[in-house]
Structure formats: structure tokens, C-alpha cells
């Protein structure tokens, strides 16, 4: 009918999960190039350091992925509950849907806290690694 469709939180697009994974995979790729160069040059110290960097970034991806999934799922459900609440005339149903949306918002916020903790943990590991 020519009208715009509303966009719900967490629907489609290049979301938080993809952004962080892309960033980490770029860092792993850079470290893999450093590893190849170190091997070609016979630099065992640089080789060991690049191997440790790859391990840290890979572990960060492994640790953050379930958190990112939790956040993404909660965002999607929050949007669905809010949309459903906006489409109902029944006050009790609307209140129930809004309560469910609030629960998902709390899950999302908890996930964001967990993600910050994960990021701090791996930032500290990389800082220590880079200083060696």
C-alpha cells in the first residue's frame, strides 16, 4: 500500500553479533598473517606471540557468541511483544505483553553487562600480551 513497515529491534540487518564477530575475525586474520611472516622469517618469538594472539581472539569469540545470541534473541522477542501489545485492544493482554517485553529487556541488559565483562577480560589479556 506504499506505507513503510516498522522495524523491530533485533530484526534483520547487520547486528551486534555480526559486528563483533567480524571485528574479531579480522584481528585473527591479521594475527595469522603475522604468524605466517614469523614462520617464514624463522622468528620463533613472533611466532609464539602471534599464536597466543590468535588463541585469545578465538577464545573471545567462543565466550562472547552465546552472550550475543542471548542479547539478539531478547531484542527480537522484546520487539515482538511490544508490537503485539500495540496491536491489542484488551488492556489485560496489553499489560501481559508489555510485562513480557520488560522481561526480555532485562535479559538484554543483563547480556550487555556480561558482554562488557567479557570485553574487559579479553582487553586485559591482549594488553598483557602486547606488552611482552
Write out the three cell numbers for 128. Answer: 598483557
Give the three-state DSSP class for 10. coil
Q: Is the pTM of this model over 0.85?
A: no
Q: What share of the chain is helix, strand, coil (3-state, %, to 5)?
A: 85, 0, 15
For the segment 59-96, what is each residue's pLDDT rounded down to a tens digit? 999 999 999 999 989 988 998 999 999 999 999 999 99
Q: Which tens digits make up the pLDDT trace of 47-59?
A: 999 999 999 999 9
Amino acid at each position: 500500500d506504499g506505507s513503510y513497515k516498522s522495524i523491530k529491534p533485533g530484526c534483520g540487518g547487520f547486528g551486534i553479533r555480526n559486528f563483533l564477530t567480524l571485528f574479531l575475525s579480522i584481528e585473527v586474520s591479521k594475527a595469522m598473517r603475522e604468524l605466517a611472516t614469523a614462520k617464514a622469517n624463522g622468528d620463533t618469538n613472533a611466532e609464539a606471540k602471534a599464536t597466543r594472539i590468535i588463541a585469545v581472539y578465538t577464545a573471545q569469540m567462543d565466550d562472547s557468541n552465546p552472550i550475543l545470541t542471548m542479547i539478539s534473541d531478547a531484542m527480537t522477542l522484546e520487539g515482538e511483544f511490544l508490537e503485539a501489545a500495540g496491536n491489542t485492544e484488551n488492556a489485560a493482554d496489553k499489560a501481559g505483553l508489555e510485562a513480557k517485553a520488560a522481561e526480555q529487556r532485562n535479559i538484554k541488559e543483563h547480556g550487555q553487562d556480561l558482554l562488557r565483562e567479557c570485553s574487559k577480560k579479553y582487553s586485559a589479556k591482549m594488553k598483557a600480551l602486547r606488552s611482552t
